[in-house]
Chains A and B, each alone.
Chain A
Amino acid sequence: MDRVPLERKVLSENDRIAAELRARFQEHNVLCLNIISSPGSGKTSLLERTLETLPRHDRVAVLTGDIQTENDANRLKRFLFPVKQITTGGTCHLDARMIERHLADWPLEDLDLLFIENVGNLVCPSSYDLGEAAKVVVLSVTEGEDKPLKYPSIFFKSDLMVLSKIDLLPYVPFDMNAAAENARKVHPGMEIVKVSCLTGNGLHEWMTWLEQRRSAHKSPVEAVS
Chain B
Amino acid sequence: MHEMGIASSVLEAVRTEMRRYPESYPCKVGVRIGEMAAIDPEALRFCFEAMILDTDLASIELAIEVCPRRHRCLACGHEFVVHDYDCSCPKCSSLGTTCISGDELELAYLEVEQYGSSTVGAKST
Contact = CB atoms under 8 A, between A and B. Distances in A.
A and B are interacting partners: yes
Interface of A: 1-14, 91-93, 123-124, 126-128, 149, 151-154, 156-157, 185-186, 188
B85 A10 contact: no
B85 to A, nearest CB: 4
Q: Is the interface of B mostly helix, strand, loop or mixed?
A: mixed
B6 A4 contact: no
A7 B37 contact: no
Contacts of B115: none
Contacts of A151: 38
A153 B33 CA distance: 12
B110 A156 contact: no
A9 to B, nearest CB: 6
B36 interface: yes
B97 A188 contact: yes
A3 B109 contact: yes
Contact of B105 (A2, A10, A13): A10
Given A6-B110, A9-B106, A153 B9 contact: no
A4 B109 contact: yes
Given A123-B1, A124-B1, A126-B38, 8 more contacts: A6-B17, A10-B106, A11-B105, A93-B2, A123-B38, A127-B6, A154-B38, A188-B95
A12 B38 CA distance: 17
Given A93-B2, A127-B2, A7 B106 contact: yes
Contacts of B37: 127, 153
A92 B3 CA distance: 11
B6 A1 contact: no
A127 B17 contact: no
B13 A12 contact: yes
Contacts of A126: 38
Contacts, number: 92
A149 B84 CA distance: 9
Interface string B1-29: 11001100110110001000100100101
B49 interface: no
B113 A1 contact: yes
Nearest to B71: A188
A4 B29 CA distance: 9
Nearest to A13: B9
Given A1-B112, A2-B24, A153-B37, A92 B2 contact: yes
B47 to A, nearest CB: 12
Contact of A185 (B13, B31, B85): B85
Contacts of B9: 10-14
B27 A1 contact: yes
B103 A3 contact: no
B1 A127 contact: no
B38 A153 contact: yes
A11 B108 contact: no
Given A1-B112, A1-B113, A127-B39, A186 B85 contact: yes
A151 B37 CA distance: 10
10 contacts: A2-B111, A3-B111, A6-B29, A6-B107, A6-B109, A14-B9, A127-B105, A128-B2, A156-B36, A188-B87
Residue of B30, B36, B38, B106 with highest tally of chain A CB at under 10 A: B38
